[in-house]
Amino acid sequence: MFSMMAALRPKWLNVLNVLWITTAFFAVCKGAVNNRPIIGVLAQTTYDEMAEYGPSYIAASYVKFLESAGARVVPIAVNQTQDYYVKLFSSLNGVLFPGGSQYLETSGYGKAGRILYDLAVKANDNGDYFPLWGTCLGFELLIYLTAEENLMTYTNSTNIAYPVYFQKDFKTTRLFASAPEKIIQILENENVTFNAHHNGVTPKNFSTSAKLKSFYKIISTNFDKNGLEFISMTEAYKYPFYASQWHPEKNIFEWTVKERINHSKDAMAASLYFTNFFVNEARKNFHKFPNPAEEEAALIYNYKPMYTGKISSYDQSYFFGV
- The per-residue DSSP string of 231-273 comes to EEEEEESSS-EEEESS-TTHHHH---TTS----SHHHHHHHHH
Helices (H), the chain: 18-29, 60-67, 82-89, 108-125, 137-147, 181-189, 203-207, 210-215, 250-253, 265-282, 292-298
Closest CA to 285 of 110, 120, 107: 120
Give bridge partners of residue 166 from the DSSP assignment. 220
At 59, which helix (H) or strand (E)?
strand 56-59
Q: Which sequence positions are flagged as catalytic?
A: 136, 247
d(CA 33, CA 52) in angstroms, rounded, equals 42
Helix (H/G/I), strand (E/B), else coil: 293 = helix
Closest CA to 267 of 281, 246, 242, 245: 246
β-strand 306-307 against 95-97: which pairing, if any? unpaired
Among left, alpha and beta (phi > 0; psi -120 to 50; other), residue 79 is left
Query: φ, ψ for residue 294 (rounded to 5)?
Result: -65, -35
d(CA 148, CA 132) in angstroms, rounded, equals 18
d(CA 6, CA 159) in angstroms, rounded, equals 37
Whether residue 286 contacts residue 27, with contact meaning beta carbons closer than 8 Å, is answered with: yes
